[in-house]
Amino acid sequence: ALGALRDTPVESPDAIQRALSGAEEVIDKVASPGAAEILQRVTLNIGTVNGGVKQNMLPGTCVVTADIRVPMGISPDTVIARAGEIAAEFPETEMEVVGRQEPLWSDPEHLMCRLLQKNVEELAGFCPPAIVSLPGTDARLWRGLGIPAYVYGITPFNVAMADEYVDIEEVFHVTKAHTLSAFDYLMAEGQG
């Protein structure tokens, strides 16, 4: 029943729609196949299911945990309310919201984003598109304070798995790109 949350209508802001338009191939390459499709809809991951004491007995209780992500263009409150409606269809259930985060984003046309793209292109010969990051990042902390924040990082090999690693040369490249972009931003007229 909770799967119905995936069908919740979402109206992404125009700037996000422009940034994502035509970037599906890049998003799928950077994040994973299918990522572009799910970036603009509510996602649901049932993390754990615990219940019962033995396989041949009906469980007295069952606890299910779910990770629900909301894209830009919809409030978590809307999705939480819909989850509550679904839970209410099963009177024996209880629902507890453990965490809640607004989907935060920075304007993909902001000066800092353009400077980062320019410096990456000068250093590496390609321009990274301004796309939405699928995994959560600490950039949300800056965005929550109203400070634009952009993520340009290393290729995560085996991310969140055994034997996770990164390429050291890529670490140096990313460090240079961030350093030059911060310098350029601070030196830009009217930026301090």
- 157 belongs to a structural domain: yes
**Mean pLDDT confidence for 39-49:** 91
Q: What is the pLDDT of residue 191?
A: 58
Residue that is last in its domain, among 56, 73, 88: 88
Task: Report the CATH number at residue 145.
Answer: 1.10.150
Q: What is the pLDDT of residue 87?
A: 94
- 39 belongs to a structural domain: yes
pLDDT at 88 over 70: yes
Residue-number span of the structural domain to which 160 is assigned: 111-187
**Mean pLDDT confidence for 60-80:** 93
56 and 117, same domain (yes or no): no
- 99 belongs to a structural domain: no
- 106 belongs to a structural domain: no
Helix H, strand E, coil C: the string for the chain is CHHHHHHCCCCCCHHHHHHHCCCHHHHHHHCCCCHHHHCCCCEEEEEEEEECCCCCCCCCCEEEEEEEECCCCCCHHHHHHHHHHHHHCCCCCCCCCCCCCCCCCCCCCCHHHHHHHHHHHHHHCCCCCCCCCCCCCCHHHHHHCCCCCCCCCCCCECCCCCCCECCHHHHHHHHHHHHHHHHHHHHCCCCC
- 102 belongs to a structural domain: no
Query: Which pTM does this prediction carry?
Result: 0.73
83 and 135, same domain (yes or no): no
Q: What is the pLDDT of residue 141?
A: 92
Task: Report the CATH number at residue 72.
Answer: 3.30.70
